[in-house]
Amino acid sequence: MIVPLSHLLVFASVLFALGVICVLIWRTNVIMVLIGIEIMLNAAMLVFVAGSYQWGRADGQVFALMIIAMTSAEVSLALAMVVYLHRRKNTVNVDEFRQLRDR
Amino acid sequence: MKTALALIILLPLVGGIGNILLGRLLPRRVVEVTACSVIWLSFIASLFAAGNYNGPAVVEMGPWLSSFTFSAPISLSLDSLSLSLILMITFVCGLIHLYSIGYMAGDPGYVRFFALLNLFTGAMLLLVLAENMLLLYLGWEGVGFCSYALIGFWYKEAENATAGRKAFIVTRIGDIGLAIAVVWMFKLFHTFSITQLNQLGPSHPGVSMGLITALGLLLLLGAMGKSAQAPLMVWLPDAMAGPTPVSAQIHAATMVTAGVYLLMRMFPLIGGSTVVVAAIAVTGTFTAFYGATCALAERDLKRILAYSTISQIGYMMLAVGCGAVTAATFHLIIHAFFKALLFLSAGCVINALHHEQDIFRMGGLYRKLPWVFWPFLAGSLCLAGVPPTGGFFSKESILTAAWGKGGMFYGGLYLVGTFTVLLTVIYTLRMVFLVFGDRVPTLASRLEGAKASGPSVHALPRIMEIILIPLALLALVGGAAGGLLEYFLASLNGSAGHVRLATEETLKGVASLVVLAGMVIAWLYYGYGSQHREVRIAGAEHPPTRLVAFLQAGWYFDRLYDWLFIRPFTWLATILWQRVDEGVIDDSLDWTAVQFGRTGQFLGRWGSGRISVYMLSLVAGATLMIGWFAWEVL
C-alpha cells in the first residue's frame, strides 16, 4: 500500500477534529452543523476502510457502505426537519430552538 | 366449689362485657337489671362457697401461660382471708350498683357506667381470689384501668379527665414496684404461686433476709400507690371527680383496699423482715395522721371522706405492720361498710342540694333528709370509732396490736394512732354538725330571710335512701362480728404480740376516753347553739389562715411534686422539643435539604436548552475520557 496506515489515521483524526470544530463553532446555521456531523462520519468511515485494507478483511468496507446508507437516510430526514424548523421560526440559528430547556 | 368460684369472677366480667357489646341496643331497665343481678348472683355464689368452705383450697381452672419451668395457671385460692373479702366485696358492690340506678337516672352514659362498674368488681374479685402473682397482677391492673375510666367518667370536663389521668399515673408508679417484685420473686423462687412463695419464704436456699426486705419494700411501694398511702396518696382526693357511687366503690370495696390486701396476702413471706414491717407500720401511721389533719380543714364533703379513707387505710397498714392481719381485715371490712355508707349518703346529700359540696354552705338537713341523716350519723359514729359501733372495735384492735408489740417504736406509733383517733372524731363530727345541724340564723341571713333555713332540697330517688339502711345496720353491729372474724382468721396472724386481758380493757378505756374528749371538743366548736359554731361558719367566708391553708392544700404535697417532678419534666421536655428536636434534628435536615435544592438549581442552569452547550459538554466530556484513556495507555 502506498499510503501507510498511520497517515490515514492522522488524516482521519484531522478530519474528525475539523468536523467537531465545525459543529461547535458554526452554530448560527443548522445546515452547517449537519455538514460537520457528515464530516465526522466520513472520518470514521475512512478509519473503517483503512482498517479493512490493512488487515485484509471485508468487514470494515461493509460497515462503510452501511454508514453511507444510514447517512443518506439521516440527511434526508434532517434536512426535512430543517425546513420545518425554518418554517416555524424563520431562522436556522441553532440557539434559537430552546424549548427543551430546564423550566 | 369450682363452679362457684368461677362464677364469682365470671359473672361480673360477663355482665360488663355483655353490657359493652349489647348495652346500647337494649332498653335502659335491662342494662340496669343485668348489671345489678350479675353482682348479686356473684354474691350468692360467694355465699355458696362460704357454705361449703372447709379449710383453704386452691382450685385450678385451667392453664394460662406456660413454657418450660415458667407456668402461671388460672388458679384461684379460697382461704379465710379471700372468702371474707369476696363476701364483703360482692355485697357492698351489689348495694352500690343498686344505688347507682338511682344516682345515674338521667345520665346518658349509663351503659358505659354500668359496664365499667361491673368490670371493676370483676377485676377486684380476680385480684382477691388469684392464687398466682401474675393473675393477681392482671386483676391489679384491671382495677387500675377501671378506676381511671370511672374517675374520668364525665370526661367532657377537662378537670375530671385530668383527675383520672392523675390517679392512673400515680398508681402506676406503685405498680412498677409490684411488677419488679413479681418478676424478681420468680427469679428467686421459680414460682408465681402465692401459696408456694409464702411457704418457701426466707428458708429458700440463696435467699437472704436482705432480699426479702427488698421484695417487701417493692410490694409496699405497690401498695402505697394502690392504697393511697404517703407519699403516693395525692391521687385519692382528686379522684372525687368521679360519680359518687364510683367513689364509694373505690374507697369501700374495690380499689384502695387492694394494696392492704396484697401486703396481707404476702405477709408470711415479707413479715419476717423487721425493716419491712416497720416501714409498713410507719407508712400507715404517718398516712393516718396526714389524712386526719387534712380532713380537719377540708371544706368539700367528698374530699373530707377521701381524706378519711386515706387515714383509715393508714390504720390498716399499721395493723399489717404490727403483724395483726386479723385486725387489718376486720377494719378493712368494717371500713368498707361504713365508708360505702358515708359516700352513698353523701351522694344523697350532694344530689339533694343540686351538687353543692361545700359543707359550710349546708346545714339543717336533718329535718329535710331524715332518711339520710340517721344512716349518715351511724356511719360517722362508726368512722369516729364511738364505742359500741364496729369502728370502735376494729380500730381498737389495731391500736391494741400496736401497743402489744411494745418498745419505744411501736409505743410511739400507738400514741400517734391514738392522737389520730382524736382528730378523726373531731373532723367527723365537724362534718356531721355542719352538714346536718341547724344553722342559727345570723344577722346577715336574717336579712335575707328565706335563706336562713338553709339550702333548698329536692327529692331523691327512693332506692338511694333504702340502700343506706342495711349498710348502717352492718356498720353499727359489725363489731359483734369481730370475735367471729378473729376466730375465723386466726391462722393468718403474724407475730402480733399478745396482750393481757386487763391491759386490753385499759386500752379500750383509754380509747373511749379519747373518743369522748374528741366529741366534747367537736361539740364545743361546731355543736348546736355554741358561739364558736357561728364564728367558724362566718370565718369560713374569709381567706383561711396559714395553717388551715396548709392543711386544705394537703400539706402542699401536690405543689411539692409539681416542683420536684412535673416542672423539671416539663422543662426537660420543652428543651428536648424546641432545642433538640426542632433545633438540632429538624433544622439540620432542613438545612441539608435546602443546600441540596440550591445545588440542584445551580446545576440545573446547565440544562439551558442551548444545543451548542450540550454539544460542547459532550465534546469536552469525550475529550476528557479519551485523554484519560490515552494517559493510561501511554
Q: CB distance B616–A97 less than 8 Å?
A: no
Check if the beta carbon of residue B353 is closer than 8 Å to that of residue B434.
no
- Does the distance separating the beta carbons of B611 and A103 come in below 8 Å? no
Residue B93, class by beta-carbon neighbours within 10 Å (0-12 exposed, 13-18 middle, 19+ buried)?
buried
Cβ-contact B349, B419 below 8 angstroms = no
Percent of chain B with pLDDT over 70: 91
Q: Does the distance separating the beta carbons of A95 and B612 come in below 8 Å?
A: yes
Contacts of residue A23 in chain B, CB cutoff 8 Å? 615
Residue among A23, A102, A103 minimizing CB distance to B615 = A23
Query: Which residue from B379, B361, B373, B240 is spatially nearest to B310, judged by alpha carbons?
Result: B240
Distance between CA atoms of residues B425 and B437, nearest Å: 16
Q: Using CA atoms in the order B81, B84, B85, B88, what is the torsion angle rounded to 10 degrees? A: -170
- For chain B, domain boundaries: 2-552, 564-633
Measure the CA–CA gap between B513 and B527, rounded to whole angstroms: 19
Q: Between A20, A24, A99, which is nearest B609 by CB?
A: A99
At residue B207, the pLDDT reads 78
> Given this model, what pLDDT does residue B532 score?
67
Look up residue B450 and give its DSSP letter: G
* pLDDT value at residue B595: 96
Asked if the model's pLDDT at residue B181 lies above 80, the reply is yes
Q: Which of B290, B66, B284, B80 is nearest to B193 (CA)?
A: B66
Residues 15-74 of A with CB under 8 A from B: 20, 23-24, 27
> Residues with Cβ < 8 Å from B208, sequence gap 6 or more?
B202
Instruction: Flag the least confident range among B218-227, B368-377, B457-466, B612-621.
Output: B457-466
Cβ neighbours of A100 in B, within 8 Å: 609
Whether B612 sits inside 8 A of A102 (CB atoms) is no
Range of B123-132, B484-493, B546-555 with top mean pLDDT: B123-132
Choose among B113, B183, B188, B185: nearest CA to B153: B113
List per-residue pLDDT tens for chain A, 103 residues long: 678 889 999 999 999 999 999 988 887 888 898 999 999 999 999 999 999 988 888 999 999 999 999 999 999 999 999 999 899 888 888 888 877 776 5
How far is Cα B40 from Cα B195, in angstroms, rounded to an integer?
29
CA atoms of B582 and B553, how far apart (whole Å): 38
- Hey, how many other C-beta atoms are within 10 angstroms of the C-beta on B423? 20
Q: Please tell me the distance in Å from A33's CA to the nearest CA on chain B.
A: 10
Long-range contacts of B373-378 (CB under 8 A, 24+ apart): B373/B436, B374/B472, B375/B341, B375/B345, B375/B468, B375/B469, B375/B471, B375/B472, B376/B341, B376/B342, B376/B345, B376/B346, B376/B349, B376/B432, B376/B435, B376/B436, B376/B468, B377/B432, B377/B436, B378/B338, B378/B341, B378/B472, B378/B475, B378/B476
The yes-or-no verdict on residue B449 having pLDDT over 50 is no
Q: Does residue B248 have a pLDDT over 50? A: yes
pLDDT at B447: 47
Q: Do B619 and A100 touch (CB under 8 A)?
A: no
H/E segment holding residue B525: helix B501-526
Type of residue found at B450: A
- The chain-wide mean pLDDT, for chain B, equals 85
Q: Longest Cα pair distance anywhere in chain B, in angstroms?
A: 122
Tracing cell 377521701 back to the chain, one arrives at: B306
Helix (H, G, I), strand (E, B) or coil at B498: coil
B60: left (phi over 0), alpha (psi -120 to 50) or beta: beta
Predicted confidence at residue B456, as pLDDT, reads: 61
Q: Could you tell me what percent of chain B has a pLDDT over 90?
A: 28
Q: What is the mean pLDDT of residues B153-171?
A: 89
Question: How much is the average pLDDT of B160-175?
Answer: 90
DSSP for B153-193, please give it: SSTTSHHHHHHHHHHHHHHHHHHHHHHHHHHHHHHHHS--B
Instruction: Check whether B495 has a pLDDT greater than 60.
Output: no
B604 and A102 within 8 Å at the Cβ level: the answer is yes
Segment B25-80, tens digit of pLDDT? 888 888 889 999 999 999 999 999 888 888 888 888 888 887 777 778 888 888 88
Residues of B in Cβ contact (< 8 Å) with A16:
none
Of the candidates B605, B607, B619, the beta carbon closest to that of A24 is on B619
Mean pLDDT of B503-507: 82
Over residues B343-400, the pLDDT tens digits come to 988 888 888 887 778 887 777 777 778 888 888 888 888 888 888 788 888 888 888 8
In the 8-state DSSP scheme, what is residue B634? -
Burial class of residue B608 (count of CB atoms within 10 Å of its CB; 0-12, 13-18, 19+): middle
Q: Spell out which residues of chain B touch residue A95, defining contact as CB-CB under 8 Å.
A: 610-612
Q: Is B612 in contact with A99 (Cβ distance < 8 A)?
A: no
Q: How many CB atoms lie within 10 A of CB B347?
A: 27
Give pTM, 2 decimals: 0.79
This complex has an ipTM of 0.83
Search chain A and give the residue with CA nearest B614.
A24
Question: Cβ of B608 and A101 within 8 Å?
Answer: yes
pLDDT at B281: 92
Contact: A24, B604; criterion CB under 8 Å: no
Closest CA to B515 of B330, B383, B623, B358: B383
Spatial separation of the C-alpha atoms in residues B35 and B56, rounded to whole Å = 30
Work out the minimum CA distance from B601 to partner chain A, whole angstroms: 10
Q: Among B109-113, B217-221, B477-481, which stretch is predicted with the lowest mean pLDDT? A: B477-481
Beta-carbon contacts of B292 under 8 Å, excluding residues fewer than 6 positions away, are B307, B308, B311, B420, B423, B424, B427
Instruction: Tell which of B603, B605, B614, B615 to mutate to test the A interface (max A CBs under 10 Å).
Output: B615
Confidence of residue B557 (pLDDT cuts 50, 70, 90): confident
Measure the CA–CA gap between B365 and B435, rounded to whole angstroms: 7
The predicted structure's pLDDT at residue B453: 46
Q: How many residues does this entry show for chain A?
A: 103
Q: Are strands B57-67 and B70-78 parallel, antiparallel or unpaired?
A: antiparallel
Which domains are present in chain A? Answer: 5-91 (1.10.287.3510)
Q: Under a CB-based contact definition with an 8 Å cutoff, are residues B146 and B226 in contact?
A: no
Most B CBs within 10 Å: which of A29, A91, A100, as the mutation test of the B interface? A100
Give residues 79 to 98 of A whose Cβ lies within 8 Å of B.
Answer: 94-95, 97-98
Which residues are CB-neighbours of B581 under 8 A, at least 6 positions away?
none
Contacts of A32 (CB under 8 A, 6+ apart): A22, A26
- Write the DSSP string, chain A: --S-HHHHHHHHHHHHHHHHHHHHH-TT-HHHHHHHHHHHHHHHHHHHHHHHHHHT-SHHHHHHHHHHHHHHHHHHHHHHHHHHHHHHHS---GGG--TTS--
Closest B-chain CA to A33: B612
How many A/B residue pairs have CB atoms within 8 Å?
31
Q: What is the mean pLDDT of residues B505-511?
A: 84
Instruction: Report residue B362: phi and psi, to 5°.
Output: -95, -165
Q: Helix, strand or coil for residue B632? A: helix
